[in-house]
Amino acid sequence: MTPIDTSKGRGAAASDRAGRDTPAGSGLALSLRGVGKRFGAVQALADIDFRVGAGEVVALVGDNGAGKSTLVKIISGVYQPDGGEIEVDGRRVSISGPRAAQGLGIATVFQDLALCDNLDVVANLFLGRERRQSGIVLDEVGMEQEAWRLLRRLSAKIPSVRIPIASLSGGQRQTVAIARSLVGDPGIVLLDEPTAALGVAQTAEVLALVRRLRETGLGVILVSHNMSDVLAVADRIEVLRLGRNAASFDARDVSIEQLVAAITGASDEARSGRDDLAATPNPAGGTS
Amino acid sequence: MTVAADLADERLVRSKGLAGAVDVVWRRLRGGDLGSLPVVVGLAIICVVFYSLEPRFLSSFSLVNILTYAAPVGIIALGIVLVLLLGEIDLSVGSVSGMGAAVMSVLVVRESQSVLVGLLAGIGVGVLVGLVYALLFTKLGIPSFVFSLGGLLGFQGVLLYLLGSEGTINLPSDSGLIEFTRFSHLTGAAAYALVAGVVALYVLGGLWTIRQRKRAELSAPSVVGLAVKAALLAAGLAGLTYYLGIDRGWSYLFLLFVALVVLMDLALRRTRWGRHVFAVGGNEEAARRSGVKVTRIYVSVFVLTSTLAALGGVLGAGLQTSVSQATGTTDTNLTAIAAAVIGGTSLFGGRGSAYAALLGIIVLQAIQSGLNIVGVDSSVRFMVTGAVLLLAVAIDSVARRARSSSGRG
Ligand SMILES: Nc1ncnc2c1ncn2[C@@H]1O[C@H](COP(=O)(O)OP(=O)(O)O)[C@@H](O)[C@H]1O
Ligand SMILES: [Mg+2]
């Protein structure tokens, strides 16, 4: 409940949030209830509840192996959940594949970026959604124009869109990956560890991109295990531990210490954000 | 002065004028982006060497033959370029070509069907083989190396079975297929008209691109540059047309091959399908997650490869006027694969162009022809071809290392 000054830029982010009304724009609300996923003997996710609204940045945090990427892949259609419900804007849906997710307005930036090194920036931005002239020929000029529009919208710094992805820096590749998620005009953007491999300046750049996504009314799911990044941009923080919901915090009212405690399971008090779970001992606690 | 959107970044080093253009090319080469430079240099060396040994090598007669005989295996190599772009391989293209030729000749000669029916059946066999391969690959996950090795042996067996005790089937000498493959040449006014048409299309395409990019306020290539390139293209093609015309001219068979190459190049660079082929070859998982229908890409490529192999087979049979037990054996397999690699298609997937098949097969055919003319045994030809292939793969590997050290992947 006390403001923490260890988190950089948090004050600015908080006042930014306070100044905003319910966002307009093309954002979507997504909610998951009771979702589970098992890989062989590993129960990667169990009984997960999760929601994100339009114009909201929800951070998904947890230790390595907590199930963050698995949850992201379920939402983006890469994996099918074993059970549970998924709703988009109140409608129950099943996300049968990446294409279906795109169709529902859910765009994903994967942890391992999923870019084709041998293709240039434009080709990567529009991969799977190429624009065509007269139904056959690729509309290279139109796509290049749109590429610059997207990159400018993100105030991104890419020297040329006609160079192969392989020749870009880590931050630039991340920028391309985020810009690509915007090509289909999505309502929700999932970012899996977008700053994990980046330096200080590049991280700041990417966090600025995340704020810009929220400003345009999108719902953003940000997966990270960097607490200061999370506190800098998130509105709400969901903690996963060993494949279960461990806690949920309002980013304004939480300290790094509380977050770390919830992530490691060190303190029961830290779970007070979710009373129901705080009372239950974690059944997955024995496995790792 | 306003700057085009794609040149606005201050870090972009802008290159101006001729020195700038040369610098750009030099940097690209240093960065391991060799394109078709090694094979063009290689071809020049081959020409100089054989010409100094035996001037007849560059005679009009000899060049017409090189181009004509390059075409059938070149068409097979075009299919190999496609599988290599996906990072897969098809070792059985030669056997498939032999089987296609055998099916056609059996239908035409023994069953007295029309040549058209024979052609369709021969090519249809290729389609079928490709479908089966695609099934084995996408449904059962069998490596392409394995099932195509099986195909290499199996389809050679089918060829022997179809030919039976006779061993050789001679095609009727009055058939349209032989007329087309052996005796049809384009020369004189018609050939120059074709050259004019090609250059006109090239210029129109270039102008269209420039206009579109200017309209979109993007940087556009210069009209002068386009004019220079078009002039070079026109001079080169007209010169070749004249020189080949001293003998028989452009063979229809070679023109068909070039037409297929150009079509394939356009399909690869200008259509969604081609873009997806490169994407799957570069990073299959990324392509899948982007919504690329990866299975369809594999199916289309395996089918196209086998189909082109069968097409090359029936055309080759026409050119040889017969199908024998040696048709499409190991020699054809490896020549087609070597041509694609020598032409600059990477064995590692995601890099290459349809023109690799054209350049590569011309190199190999030139070597074969040159060694024939200077009277060297075919044993030497195998050794030389092997060495050239090794050289091409070495260049590919070195270029790949240069690319990764200069950050071009
Ligand atoms: N494809 C898979 N097959 C088997 N186990 C998996 C697979 N993907 C993830 N897991 C397991 O599920 C658990 C959660 O993984 P993940 O979602 O990647 O965690 P995080 O992204 O939070 O680090 C881990 O124990 C991991 O080993
Ligand atoms: Mg992860």
Distance between start and end Cα atoms, chain A? 32
Which one of B247, B276, B296 terminates a domain?
A: B247
CB contact under 8 A, B291 and A129: yes
- Residue A90 contacts by C-beta under 8 Å, 6 or more apart in sequence? A29
Between A167-171, B204-208, B211-215, B333-337, the lowest mean confidence (pLDDT) is in A167-171
Q: Is residue B22 part of a domain?
A: no
Phi, psi of B263 (to 5 degrees): -60, -45
Q: Is B188 touching A (CB cutoff 8 A)? A: no
Whether B198 and B174 share a structural domain: no
Give the ligand whose atoms come closest to the C-alpha of residue A239. 1
Query: B345: closest CA among B360, B335, B331?
Result: B360
Query: A92: closest CA among A132, A32, A152?
Result: A32
Atom 24 of ligand 1: nearest residue by CA position: A65
Q: Is residue B4 part of a domain?
A: no
Residue that is written with structure tokens 């997937």 in the block: B349
Mutating to test ligand 1, I would choose from A70, A224, A287 the residue with most ligand atoms within 8 A of its C-beta, which is: A70
Residue that is written with structure tokens 């399971």 in the block: A265
CB contact under 8 A, B275 and A123: yes
Residue that is written with structure tokens 């990417």 in the block: A206
In A20-124, beta strands by DSSP E: 30-39, 42-52, 57-61, 83-88, 91-93, 106-109
Q: Which atom of ligand 1 is nearest to the CA of A67?
A: 17
Query: A67: closest CA among A42, A102, A41?
Result: A42
Whether B198 and B314 share a structural domain: no
The 3 state secondary structure assigned to chain B is CCCCHHHCCCCCCCCCHHHHHHHHHHHHHHCCCCCCHHHHHHHHHHHHHHHHHCHHHHCHHHHHHHHHHHHHHHHHHHHHHHHHHCCCCCCCHHHHHHHHHHHHHHHHHHCCCCHHHHHHHHHHHHHHHHHHHHHHHHCCCCCHHHHHHHHHHHHHHHHHHHHCCCCEEECCCCCHHHHHHHHCEECHHHHHHHHHHHHHHHHHHHHHHHHHHHHCCCCCCCHHHHHHHHHHHHHHHHHHHHHHHHCCCEEHHHHHHHHHHHHHHHHHHHEHHHHHHHHHHHCHHHHHHCCCCHHHHHHHHHHHHHHHHHHHHHHHHHHHCEEECCCCCHHHHHHHHHHHHHCCCCCCCCCCCCHHHHHHHHHHHHHHHHHHHCCCCHHHHHHHHHHHHHHHHHHHHHHHHHHHHCCCC
Amino acid letter, B237? L
Ligand 2 center from residue A7 Cα (angstroms): 23
Cβ pairs A/B, distance under 8 A: 105
Pocket of ligand 1 (CB under 6 A): A 39, 42, 44, 62, 64-70
Whether B296 and B212 share a structural domain: no
Average pLDDT on B13-36 reads 68
CB contact under 8 A, A128 and B290: yes
Between A132-136, B18-22, B397-401, the lowest mean confidence (pLDDT) is in B18-22
Nearest to A148 among B6, B279, B292 (CB): B6
- Minimal C-alpha gap between A118 and chain B (Å): 6
Q: Is B288 touching A (CB cutoff 8 A)? A: yes
Residue of A nearest to B5 (CA): A148
- Residue A58 contacts by C-beta under 8 Å, 6 or more apart in sequence? A50, A51, A52, A219, A220, A221, A222, A234, A235, A236, A237, A238
In order along its 288 residues, chain A shows pLDDT tens digits of: 334 333 333 333 333 333 333 333 456 789 999 999 999 999 999 999 999 999 999 999 998 889 998 999 999 898 999 989 999 988 899 999 888 888 899 988 887 767 998 999 999 999 988 989 888 899 999 999 999 988 887 777 788 888 888 888 878 888 888 888 888 788 999 998 888 877 788 888 888 889 988 988 899 999 987 888 889 899 999 999 999 998 899 988 888 888 888 888 875 544 444 444 444 444 444 433
Give the ligand whose atoms come closest to the C-alpha of residue A61. 1
Whether B192 and B179 share a structural domain: no
Distance of CA A274 to the CA centre of its chain: 22
Q: Which atom of ligand 1 is nearest to the CA of A79?
A: 1
Burial A69-104 (b: 16+ CB within 10 A, else e): bbbbbbbbbbbebeebebebeeeebebeebbebbeb
Domain count across chain B: 2
C-alpha distances (whole Å) from A68 to each of A64, A106, A177, A278, B11 are 8, 17, 19, 20, 37
Rounded to whole angstroms, the maximal C-alpha distance in chain B is 79
Q: What integer pLDDT is reported at residue A282 of this predicted model?
A: 44
| B132, pLDDT greater than 80 | yes
Residue that is written with structure tokens 């880590």 in the block: A170
| B64, pLDDT greater than 50 | yes
Average pLDDT on B21-34 reads 71
Give the ligand whose atoms come closest to the C-alpha of residue A70. 1
- Structural domain spans, chain A: 3-283
C-alpha distances (whole Å) from A42 to each of A45, A175, A263, A284, A286 are 9, 33, 19, 10, 12
Whether B239 and B380 share a structural domain: no
Q: Which atom of ligand 1 is nearest to the CA of A288?
A: 25
Neighbour tally for B394: CB within 10 Å: 10
Q: Is residue B11 part of a domain?
A: no
Ligand 1 center from residue A67 Cα (angstroms): 6
Q: What integer pLDDT is reported at residue A165 of this predicted model?
A: 87
Phi, psi of B2 (to 5 degrees): -85, 145
**Which residue range(s) make up the domain with B386?**
37-187+248-405
The pLDDT tens digits of the residues spanning B146-201 come to 999 999 999 999 999 999 877 899 998 888 899 999 999 999 999 999 999 999 99
What is the helix (H) or strand (E) element at residue A261, kind and residue range? Answer: helix A256-264
Whether B203 and B175 share a structural domain: no
What is the helix (H) or strand (E) element at residue A115, kind and residue range? Answer: none
Q: Which atom of ligand 1 is nearest to the CA of A66?
A: 22
Q: Is residue B179 part of a domain?
A: yes
Whether B253 and B169 share a structural domain: yes
Whether B71 and B139 share a structural domain: yes
| B207, pLDDT greater than 70 | yes
Q: Which band of pLDDT confidence, cut at 50, 70 and 90, is reported for residue B16?
A: low
- Minimal C-alpha gap between A274 and chain B (Å): 34
Which one of B229, B247, B265 terminates a domain?
A: B247
Phi, psi of A85 (to 5 degrees): -120, 145
Distance of CA B314 to the CA centre of its chain: 17
Which one of B196, B220, B247 terminates a domain?
A: B247
Nearest to A164 among B287, B292, B409 (CB): B409
| B391, pLDDT greater than 80 | yes
Q: Is residue B168 part of a domain?
A: yes
CATH of domain A3-283: 3.40.50.300
SS3 content of chain A, % helix, strand, coil (to 5): 35, 25, 40
Average pLDDT on B99-107 reads 95
CA distance A265 to A166: 40
Query: B123: closest CA among B348, B308, B334?
Result: B308
Nearest to B291 among A128, A145, A158 (CB): A128
Q: What integer pLDDT is reported at residue B119 of this predicted model?
A: 95
Whether B222 and B259 share a structural domain: no
Q: What integer pLDDT is reported at residue A220 of this predicted model?
A: 93
Whether B242 and B378 share a structural domain: no
CB contact under 8 A, A145 and B216: yes
Q: Is residue B10 part of a domain?
A: no
- Residue B325 contacts by C-beta under 8 Å, 6 or more apart in sequence? B159, B160, B163, B167, B168
- Minimal C-alpha gap between B396 and chain A (Å): 15
Whether B227 and B89 share a structural domain: no
Nearest to A116 among B213, B279, B404 (CB): B279
Q: Is residue B16 part of a domain?
A: no
Interface test with A, best of B211, B284, B289 (most A CBs within 10 A): B289
Structure tokens at A32: 């998951």
Phi, psi of B329 (to 5 degrees): -80, -170
Q: Is residue B28 part of a domain?
A: no
